[in-house]
Structure 1
Amino acid sequence: MTLPTDRSSRWTAGMATRRSVLGDTYVDAASARTTPFDEGFQTFITEGAWGSVWSRPGLTRRERSMITIALLAALGHDEEVAMHVRATRNTGASAEDVAETLMHVAVYAGVPAANRAYKIAKEVYAEARTDGDAQGENHG
């Protein structure tokens, strides 16, 4: 990825937050896949989502994580649900937090959306246990 040399403070804060939440491995891989076609979009995500919203005071990363999972589950964005369930190892949201979040999804967005998200979360936690992830031991 060819990044602009005049990075904004929002981009810098966003990248730090993105790395803290998603992990260096994920962010490095996403950055390596960036092309000139989607470079502007990646900058937008880094500045907007990570540098503006996730970096704001007022909510903890745990709370933001739970809200994000609920919204993604409600909208049926399965890959993003999985990514953010994986990120709970960095945000402090426990498996119990995720389960409670998905109960809210069931009530406010529908049982099918919650059912799909529970399935995804269970797969992520099982994968973490298989990989020997200490957090996976605590997630399911």
Structure 2
Amino acid sequence: MNGTMRNTPTVSEINLKRGPAGLGFNIVGGVDQQYMLNDSGIYVAKIKENGAAALDGRLQEGDKILEINGEKLESLSHNAAVMLFRSAGEDVKLLVERGGSAPVNGPSRVRPDNESPAYTLGILGFAMATAVVLACVYVRFRPHIRKHF
């Protein structure tokens, strides 16, 4: 989906009933994490298999969500949009736009709901610390290694 173009947009209403795993899709975008060039909207990143959205069949990856239960999503941060989805209740009405003309600007891999930026930074920090320890061990024992050759 990265770098693709879209055609004439269409807007439709989709009603979903929240299942055991929520609404069954991940979102990307927001004013703080633009997914489309010059567009801070909220987009469907991934439809989860056997989730409410997949079972309904109308929502598709790449759709722009304009409203949830009548509340507009424009000008929201990503986290504010996530909180709005989580507090939307059991019966959820989405106003969805499919199509458009802006090329995709976002990452080709979407971060799962349960993977926060802090988690990613923690993994990066752990990898860097491991590299430093290995470098120190190498420098400390390097003279001994050379003596054996």
Q: Higher strand fraction: Structure 1 or Structure 2?
A: 2
Q: Higher helix fraction: Structure 1 or Structure 2?
A: 1
| TM-score category (smaller protein) | under 0.3
What's the TM-score, normalizing by structure 1?
A: 0.24
